[in-house]
Chains A and B, each alone.
Chain A
């Protein structure tokens, strides 16, 4: 809802233009094995609410992003309100609130990597991925590229994450090979 111009970054991922995903009927995530997994997770904490972050991860792993309908489902599973779930989901930057490319790429550009050429890596990624700009998904649906803050691998500049894979020491030259490996 925040439209900016916010100084500190605004939405990292752009909402896609009206897409079919909004019209499809929602298929619940917490059935079968996923439900069993959620129950196991819930047993580790004295309150249901504490399973919220893990539950959102389960949702994102299953569906690629966290939609309003998913937030309702999680809210019902944990006996909290959808508004509460939304407040938590929007706090943490790793949960996507829109669908993203099959390979979601996060590039660290914070100072330690910045002084080692991280911004050139970003340029190279945007060029080779066909995304056009940060936060947008490439036309073939393969890639979305965003800048993120310190990934905790400062000694191996520039680190990037591609979905859950952590790739160290990326250079502008190695970008095309890294992207080519991902269909």
Chain B
């Protein structure tokens, strides 16, 4: 449903079916809505089979990377070692607010998914890492875990299966970078949230040096439905001619749009219909100027590019951007793209962990230049410098925060050059003729 708005008939509410339904929050409420059947079934199923079902379903990680979930799980073998299941609930990508709703409305759905995944990867212990600011989701998930333990759903003998499944909730303390899988592990271990060099990969040496699987909230919340209804059921959602993008996705829509909220549609949905029909298009009297479709780390699309795009992994890639986390940020024609890109750069500069030289210094330098341009003191040379810095920040660091900072700058300069240039021209205190310096969107 386009929560908090009513469900749109063209949505496919699977995960979002109970958004806004307070009754879904309790254990009994979840059971009454068909919950925990999947977990019961899974605990009696060999993990190898569970891995195959999820692999077959085509589910890809919904946190932003889009890595095939079943393939990720298949790295975990019955090797007799201690394994860990981690749920990444550190949702901090600007524009994204879907995991929050899953945790607020269907916390048991998440618990069920986490427990199921733990069993599927031969782990007896799972941690749910929730960002520190999510106090309300934290309260709901913690309560759900307590209820689950009290009812014997979790613990030494989960649902009477004879298998142990322990789930602990761990609270973050304000760091976007802890959404990076290895930084999350470091944070859980009581360290600074620094991403780790890979290799070694988490499946070999992850949390506390042990084989670890980490998945996003939305991914884990989807898993019980796949187990309960089967892989074939899940494969019905998506473009018939694109088997690489299967299932439904929660798209968080925000910014200058009539109906902001979370919308669940089958992958392959046309973006134009999505923006104008489901989300109500721009506010009265305004025009959409730019859209970032996958959270702030993916390239910006112009209105024309957005209207032509298809909402799946390959569709957005073909449009020159990425599906990412599915956080859709809509900018209308009243927005100052230079100002907003500067604000995005400020976000990355604030969140840099400080390990890599390019990120630590590059994000701050980019910010200083962007703010100087924004405030009217920029020069034409600054554009070349910005692009050069962006190039030096891309593909050369331990994690991609550095790349993510460069992305809006590069796509902004490419597609909204006129707005950048207008700032420079304005700087030279020329007489402005209204309408003569209209920012071009191309």
A–B contact at 8 Å CB threshold (below): yes
Binding site for B on A (CB under 8 A): 6-9, 44-47, 49-54, 56-57, 78, 80, 87-88, 91-95, 106, 109-112, 114-116, 148-157, 161, 164-166
A50-B188, A87-B192 known; A157+B254 contact, CB < 8 A = yes
Please give 8 more A-B residue pairs, beta carbons under 8 A apart, in addition to A8-B350, A44-B168, A149-B351: A7-B365, A7-B368, A53-B171, A111-B329, A115-B255, A152-B134, A155-B260, A156-B260
Which applies to chain A's interface (DSSP): helix, strand, loop or mixed?
Answer: loop
Best-buried of A91, A92, A148, A150 by chain B (most CB within 10 Å): A150
Best-buried of B91, B170, B363, B365 by chain A (most CB within 10 Å): B170
A88 nearest CB neighbor, chain B only: B192
A106 to B93, CA, bound (A): 17
The B192-210 residues at the A interface (CB cut-off 8 A) are 192-193, 208
A46 to B190, CA, bound (A): 12
Which chain B residues border A44 with CB–CB below 8 Å?
168
Contact flags (1/0) for B84-101 with A, using CB distance below 8 Å?
A: 000000011111110110
Shortest Cβ gap from B7 to chain A (Å): 15
A46 to B127, CA, bound (A): 13
Which chain A residues border B368 with CB–CB below 8 Å?
7
User: Which listed segment binds A: B173-181, B315-323, B417-425?
Assistant: B173-181
Which applies to chain B's interface (DSSP): helix, strand, loop or mixed?
Answer: mixed
- Sampled A-B contacts (15; CB under 8 Å): A7-B367, A9-B349, A44-B168, A54-B171, A56-B173, A87-B192, A88-B192, A95-B173, A111-B95, A111-B329, A111-B343, A154-B327, A155-B4, A155-B252, A165-B135
Q: B364 near A: Cβ within 8 Å? A: yes
A148 to B351, CA, bound (A): 11
Shortest Cβ gap from B164 to chain A (Å): 14
Shortest Cβ gap from A66 to chain B (Å): 10
A112-B255, A155-B260 known; A51+B208 contact, CB < 8 A = no
B131 nearest CB neighbor, chain A only: A152
Which chain A residues border B363 with CB–CB below 8 Å?
8
Which chain B residues border A51 with CB–CB below 8 Å?
190
Inter-chain contact B176/A150, CB cutoff 8 Å: yes
Contact flags (1/0) for B120-141 with A, using CB distance below 8 Å?
A: 0000000000011111100000
A57 to B171, CA, bound (A): 9
Which chain A residues border B175 with CB–CB below 8 Å?
91-93
Shortest Cβ gap from A3 to chain B (Å): 15
Which chain A residues border B367 with CB–CB below 8 Å?
7-8
